[in-house]
Structure 1
Amino acid sequence: MMSSDKLKRLASTSAVMSCTLGKATCLGMDKICSPLADNDVTQRKTQIICTIGPSCNNVDTLTGLIDKGMSIARLNFSHGDHESHYKTLLNIREAARARPQSTVGIMLDTKGPEIRTGFLEGGKPVELKAGQTLKIVTDYTFLGNSECIACSYSLLPSSVQVGSTILIADGSLTTNVFEIGEDYVLCKVLNTVTIGERKNMNLPGCKVHLPIIGEKDKHDIVDFALKHNLDFIALSFVQCGADIQKCRQIISENTQYSNGVPSSIKIISKIENLEGVINFDSICSESDGIMVARGDLGMEIPPEKIFVAQKCMISKCNVAGKPVVTATQMLESMIKSNRPTRAEMTDVANAVLDGSDCVMLSGETANGAFPLDAVNIMSRVCAQAETCIDYTVLYHAIHSSIPKPVAVPEAIACSAVESAHDVNAKIIIAITETGNTARLISKYRPSQTIIACTARPEVARGLKISRGVKTYVLNSIHHNDVVVSNALSLAKEEGLIESGDFAVAVHGVKESCPGSCNLMKIVRCT
């Protein structure tokens, strides 16, 4: 017999399905075949994270990425050093200054306890053939070739057994261990493939003895993310809630770059192994957001279960009000092709319909031949998917899933979304000192754009991971009526609202108390 929790989850899933499929099936075929309106793209609610690498690491291309829809720039600290990443950071910030109307967040993605293959002779990819023997050595200084490659994990021989599977390069190479030595393993290659250097390696079913936050990660967090005032830390291979607590402790103990005040940087936990899935509830509770990192996860759990894990984790994040990112191989073919496969575009759309706040591009923008095209296509697919959502049904599905009672700020945010639906408001204005009000409104998935007004640029950047939030950084937010008036004027200039349209505004009466969202009002744009 099913538990009540399982029945509730099934009911919630059914409700969300009806809010997407129900709206889509009501569209006429002529509507489906007509071009997407420009304002649908510019008012896209799903945020886009772009990984920055050689293909886009110049100011002109970065500015183009912002124009095409980049919300957050991701720096992957599995590669590169602080000097090279700092140059990238300067380029990102210069590009952001060139587009002051667009707020751009910056994310540091930690290396974590990952295992990677080593460098190759001449830096050239090698071809491995099915049936051949491949030697994997733990001497990471060794330059690999088609017969022997290095591995960054010194305990590899003691972690695997004869018969263990080793997956390399997101599973594109599968090998089977048949001999184990003191500092090497011998594997049989099971499929023909060409691989490059520094590819990820997974040991499904094997216990890996590596800390979640190693010395390199701590150095990267403190002396780069905190030093340079970044907005997000994507914490790799999180296994339990204690991992996030450890990261917060590192942040709170290192205030030398923030005048003695702990940084407000957001921790996004990456779920990419079985332990992370098993302990998801505690991880979600401790985190500021979640990233469903399907690449490594797909090598740790059966690949046919990835879509189930994705939907389940996104649903839990939606109910908890935690931003969730769907990542890995979303438009993978665009690394080499200027057009994605139809399956990839459908994958992006389904991630939006599942409830993702953000979708992420990795190699497509970092190393691909068409970074601007990749962002443009992803933006248009997200916008199209959003037109298929019945937001009224979605609101009620989320509202019915939330444990009651809720705190006053959440009750106000919830009422603001319902009122916006009832009066057909065009925007929802959130005056926010910390960003919490805007995040609470985003949780209930309004059809309207959420205009978050804040005087703190770091708060605005931290909101770039939340669905449907657009930010205005103002000189002051101390006089609510003035702020609402300014927000209406700015939104009108951008075509988000017209004279005579309604807007819903949410703010606090006690302006000296941050987070005291306790007032909602409906105003008309003049």
Structure 2
Amino acid sequence: MRRTKIIATFGPSCKNEETIRKLIKSGVNIFRFNFSHSNADEHINNAKIVRKIANEMGVRLAFLQDLAGPKIRIGKIKNDKAVLRDEQIFKITTREIEGNEEIISVNFKEILNYVQKNDIMLIAEGTIVLKVVEVNEDEIITRVLKGGEISSNKGLNLPFKEIDVSALTEKDLEDIKKGIEFGFDYVAVSFVQKPSDIELVRYYLRKFGSLSKIIAKIEKPSAVMRIEDIIDVSDGIMIARGDLGIEFPIEELPIIQKKFIKLCIQKGKPVITATQMLESMINNPSPTRAEVTDVANAVIDGSDALMLSGETAIGSYPVEAVSIMDKIIRKVESSIDYSRPPFRVSQAQLDINDAVAFAAYELSKFSNAKAIVAYTFSGDTAKRVAKFRPSVPIVAITPNEFVANQLVLSWGIIPIVSEMVNSFEEMVNIARIKVKELGLVKELSKIVIIAGLPLKVPGNTNLIHLTDVH
């Protein structure tokens, strides 16, 4: 089995139902819907189609709603294109105008309060570099350090600036409401700067009656500086290397990635490595050698999931991108030594529940068990086991359909929905049946069962049982 999960971004390239089926067959575990593009109703309709197809195929998927967030963007440009020349003077205004080669508008009126002479501004993911010459009443006058072609609504970045804006826009709130109607398993929050940004989103999700988990997208220097606190209040993070590579020195990205993945593993929170993983496959049927190595390193680091963006959303080879990522992951995982946890247990801050999960992990090694079966009401028990990265599958049995869907994102977990058991004997019998149905046991073997008693109390992991499966 493949332990590291694959996220595919939905877009024009995968609207065909046959393509969706092929993507699922090729190994997609989670579909991401990017609410920065298209409208909410279109995303919801597409998500319903994907869910219908997955149900017909008997495949459990998770669905991720990625909010647009308070992104600073330039406005509309005449004929949707302008070419900026090196060293030319170029103006940015807060007035609503149609842009051209000399001036563009920006959607963030307060930008004048955050820039000063000699500041650097970046457009279109850093492909255009501007240096501020002067700031006037409603204009920023810049000199083009690196020119090129720009189009309407591209992003504008102010590197190393902490912008005092709400983590949620009015559009985000409306999109959340629409998303609740569908039932997204995860909501990704863009441009997180501090823990209170996540707490604000959680407040509205609960207010609107949503049980969705929250993924904090790490793409701002201010989030990097507060990473541990942000991980603590989130249900997982996404290392969004696109904007992060614009806002932060690019040579530090590999160090940040490795550090943050390790932190998430220790804290038992899912971590997604994202952006430009197989970027060249947007236009080519095979990846570069560097991209293959990038995917491999993200697996070796311990990512719960790897995300494809433009590769599946707008690329010419969406199915091939998923298939190749699946092959790389499987090959790399087959070479990893899972006999030791990915961190020093003696130095980690473990509570009693973690200690029980670690004991189940150790018991699975010494008994040569074929699987660890985690009975879980909230998903917590299974994720605690996953943080130790065992060599055997983690079968999570839960009575909650929503929890099962959310566990799809977590490393090495196979979620199964089953009715709540009423006794210890029933728990053992169902565990035996499920591992045989999954094909994890073909002859006399052992499995480790971990649970919390009483069974309906979340966060109460206190039982380990070793049993034979015939």
| CA drift at 1:127 | 4.0
Letter in 2 for 1:131: E
> How many equivalent residue pairs?
470
Q: 1:512 to 1:318 in 2, by over 3 A?
A: closer
In the other structure, the counterpart of 2:148 is 193
What is the root-mean-square deviation in Å for CA atoms of aligned residues? Answer: 2.2
Deviations 1:396-424 (A, max 9, x none): x34223225x22x3222111111111122
| CA drift at 1:207 | 4.2
Deviations 1:365-394 (A, max 9, x none): 111111111111112212222223221233
In the other structure, the counterpart of 2:216 is 269
Native 8 Å contact 1:429 1:484 kept in 2? no
1:318 matches 2:265: yes
Which structure 2 segments of 5+ residues have no match? none
**Partner SS, residue 520 of structure 1:** strand
- For residues 432 and 198 of structure 2, what CA distance do their matches in structure 1 show? 39
Which structure 1 segments of 5+ residues have no match? 1-42, 256-262
Native 8 Å contact 2:7 2:307 kept in 1? yes
Q: 1:398 to 1:360 in 2, by over 3 A?
A: farther
Q: 1:373 to 1:431 in 2, by over 3 A?
A: same
**Partner SS, residue 319 of structure 2:** helix
1:420 matches 2:372: no
**Partner SS, residue 190 of structure 1:** strand
- For residues 490 and 194 of structure 1, what CA distance do their matches in structure 2 show? 56
Q: 1:122 to 1:497 in 2, by over 3 A?
A: farther
Deviations 1:132-151 (A, max 9, x none): 443333345x4444444332
Letter in 2 for 1:45: R
**Partner SS, residue 391 of structure 1:** coil
- For residues 56 and 418 of structure 2, what CA distance do their matches in structure 1 show? 18
1:506 matches 2:450: yes
Residue 345 of structure 2: which of 399, 410, 419 is its match? 399
In the other structure, the counterpart of 1:247 is 201
After TM superposition, the structure 1 = structure 2 runs for residues 362-441 of structure 1, keeping only pairs within 5 Å, are 362-394=309-341, 397-404=343-350, 406-407=351-352, 409-441=353-385
1:87 matches 2:45: yes
**Partner SS, residue 393 of structure 1:** coil
**Partner SS, residue 140 of structure 2:** strand
Letter in 1 for 2:204: I
**Partner SS, residue 112 of structure 1:** coil
1:96 matches 2:96: no
More deviation in 417-426 or 488-497?
488-497
After TM superposition, the structure 1 = structure 2 runs for residues 30-429 of structure 1, keeping only pairs within 5 Å, are 43-100=1-58, 102-123=59-80, 125-139=81-95, 142-221=97-176, 223-255=177-209, 263-394=210-341, 397-404=343-350, 406-407=351-352, 409-429=353-373
Q: 1:453 to 1:207 in 2, by over 3 A?
A: closer
| CA drift at 1:476 | 4.1
**Partner SS, residue 445 of structure 1:** coil
Instruction: Give the share of equivalent positions with the same residue, in percent.
Output: 39
- For residues 150 and 481 of structure 1, what CA distance do their matches in structure 2 show? 68
| CA drift at 1:486 | 4.2
Letter in 2 for 1:75: F
Native 8 Å contact 2:133 2:143 kept in 1? yes
Deviations 1:408-449 (A, max 9, x none): x32221111111111222211111111111111111111111
**Partner SS, residue 392 of structure 1:** coil
Letter in 1 for 2:145: L
Native 8 Å contact 1:126 1:196 kept in 2? yes
| CA drift at 1:96 | 1.8
Letter in 1 for 2:2: R
- For residues 127 and 497 of structure 1, what CA distance do their matches in structure 2 show? 62
Native 8 Å contact 1:480 1:507 kept in 2? no
- For residues 334 and 149 of structure 2, what CA distance do their matches in structure 1 show? 41
1:522 matches 2:466: yes
| CA drift at 1:299 | 1.6
Q: 1:134 to 1:415 in 2, by over 3 A?
A: same
| CA drift at 1:487 | 4.4
| CA drift at 1:158 | 3.3
Please give the TM-score of this superposition, normalised by the length of structure 2.
Answer: 0.93
Native 8 Å contact 2:129 2:147 kept in 1? no
| CA drift at 1:512 | 4.1
**Partner SS, residue 275 of structure 1:** helix
